Amino acid sequence: MGRLFASFFGAVAFLVVILRGLLEGRAVEATLESACLALVIFSLLGGWLGWTADGAIRQAVQTQFEAALEPAASGQSESSQSSAR
């Protein structure tokens, strides 16, 4: 998910800076320099956000999965104890 966020954030930032440069009539070199800088910064930011979101989602799913398995495991251990008697 980190790579997806990084590529999306970077591409959007690059596009926004290019469009801003065109609308303001800025020099091509200055616009491209700003766009490349925005691409790098927002790609790093997007990668970090994606990595963080991926970890949070994985942890939430794991917690829900373990909570769903808990009643089944306790029911199975109770039935195995009563059959052993």
Q: Evaluate if residue 83 carries a pLDDT over 80.
A: no
**Rounded distance between C-alpha atoms, residue 52 and residue 64, angstroms:** 19
Instruction: Give the distance from CA 23 to its chain's centroid.
Output: 32
List Cα–Cα distances, 10 to 13, 21, 59, 61, in angstroms. Answer: 5, 17, 27, 28
Confidence of residue 77 (pLDDT cuts 50, 70, 90): low
What is the value of pTM for the model shown? Answer: 0.73
Q: Evaluate if residue 50 carries a pLDDT over 90.
A: yes
Structure tokens at 28: 């091509």
Q: What stretches of 1-85 show up as alpha helix (H) in DSSP?
A: 2-24, 28-84
Mean pLDDT of the chain: 89
pLDDT, mean of residues 54-79: 84
